[in-house]
Every structure is written in C-alpha cells, then in structure tokens.
Chains A and B, each alone.
Chain A
Amino acid sequence: EAQVTQNPRYLITVTGKKLTVTCSQNMNHEYMSWYRQDPGLGLRQIYYSMNVEVTDKGDVPEGYKVSRKEKRNFPLILESPSPNQTSLYFCASSLGQVSYEQYFGPGTRLTVT
C-alpha cells in the first residue's frame, strides 16, 4: 500500500532534549516536506527536499534540521526543543514539487514541556 509513515505518532518531551521524528515513503517520490500545524495558522512548511542530498528551508525552519540521505526517508530533527515547538507535525511527499498532489503522513503530535 502506497503510504507515508511517521514515528512516533505522539511524543511528550522536555525542553532541550534532542529528538528525531522519522518519515518514510514507499512511492519513490522525489519531493518530501515537513509541515507544522497550529490552531488558526494552518500548515506552515518547515523544510523541503527535492531529492537526495537536496534540502531547503520553508517558511518556519528555525529550530529544526533535516537530512535526506535516502530517497525514502526524511527525518525531522529538533536539536534543542522548546515549548513553542509544541505542535502537530506532518510529513508529505509528492512525485515533483510543483504540479503534483502531496501525500501526507498521519501526523506526529509533539508536546514540549
């Protein structure tokens, strides 16, 4: 089944404790992206990747890192999480960046205390 998976689905952590949220897709998609969703603000793009080893900042990249060493995986790293990073995070992938629909993962609800 074609899908985007994220782990973990729920995470509660403390300020400053490094964490990684994994994202994997099995559709051989070139474009992958991370979003955060906050009430009243919709989805905001954090980082995106057009292909292996090619990543770039979205609208809200501060406090996040990503890597794309393999086509299928696109982990999101929070080196020193802070409470303002409490949010619902979505990973998405698509065939290409411009004219293709994005397939979304189920989301990761992160709480930083």
Chain B
Amino acid sequence: SQQGEEDPQALSIQEGENATMNCSYKTSINNLQWYRQNSGRGLVHLILIRSNEREKHSGRLRVTLDTSKKSSSLLITASRAADTASYFCATDAWNFNKFYFGSGTKLNVKP
C-alpha cells in the first residue's frame, strides 16, 4: 500500500504564478521529503521536514507539515518554466528503514 498520495495529479500554471501541491500519508513518520523528477530522469532531493517541524523554507520552496492531519504541502512561488517536472513526497513511515513515495504531481509551467 502506498504511504504517500499527492494531490493534484497534474497542475498547469503560467510562469510567475505560485504552485501548490499536497501530500497525504497514512502512518506516523519521522520525516517527510520532497523530490523533483524531470521527465524520466533520476529524482533530485528538494527539502526535508522533520515530524517536529511545521514549516520549512528553501529559496522559492515552502513546505508545511501537519502531523495531526497526516499531510504536507509544497509551495513553489514565482514559478518558472524550468520548474516543469513531477514532484513526489516520500516518507519513512512506521518502519524507519523503508521509504515510501507517492505517485507524484505533474507540474507544467507555461512560459
């Protein structure tokens, strides 16, 4: 069973707009991570937020975590065409040695 589920599955916006994608998970976690994947290539780590943190920033990225709702959101501000990619959340779940990825949000930023 999948631990993380992203929403929406696809998102299309204009350059300069903000993009928000959400992730829900099922069990307790130690941390939640977000990754980006460009068209069939390897994933690239974006940001990690620990279960005792509520918000984290990195450049144009803002991640929030609500452990009571078992959900996280990734906000990309002032999006660029180069942000076009698929975004995945990943959790370590109850078994701390395993990682679980969601099915991803496909973001298209139109120039």
**B103 neighbours in A (Cβ, 8 Å):** 40-42
**A45 neighbours in B (Cβ, 8 Å):** 98-100
**A99 neighbours in B (Cβ, 8 Å):** 30-31, 48, 50
B2 touches A42 (CB 8 A): yes
How many Å lie between the Cα of A68 and that of B40 in the bound state?
Answer: 26
Interface residues of A in 37-67 (CB under 8 A from B): 40-45, 48, 50, 56, 58-59
Indicate whether A90 sits within 8 Å of B97 (C-beta atoms), given known contacts A98-B31, A99-B30.
no
Indicate whether A102 sits within 8 Å of B99 (C-beta atoms), given known contacts A42-B2, A43-B88, A90-B43.
yes
> Separation in Å of the A61 CB from the closest CB of chain B?
11
Is A107 part of the contact surface with B, judged by Cβ < 8 Å? yes
B contact set with A: CB distance below 8 Å: 2, 4, 30-31, 33, 35, 40-45, 48, 50, 88, 90, 92, 96-104
Indicate whether A59 sits within 8 Å of B100 (C-beta atoms), given known contacts A43-B88, A99-B30.
yes
**A40 neighbours in B (Cβ, 8 Å):** 103
**B44 neighbours in A (Cβ, 8 Å):** 104
A contact set with B: CB distance below 8 Å: 4, 33, 35, 40-45, 48, 50, 56, 58-59, 88, 90, 92, 97-99, 101-107, 109
Indicate whether A104 sits within 8 Å of B88 (C-beta atoms), given known contacts A59-B100, A97-B96.
no
Indicate whether A42 sits within 8 Å of B104 (C-beta atoms), given known contacts A98-B30, A99-B50, A102-B99.
yes
> Separation in Å of the B67 CB from the closest CB of chain A?
16
> Separation in Å of the B7 CB from the closest CB of chain A?
13
B45 touches A103 (CB 8 A): yes
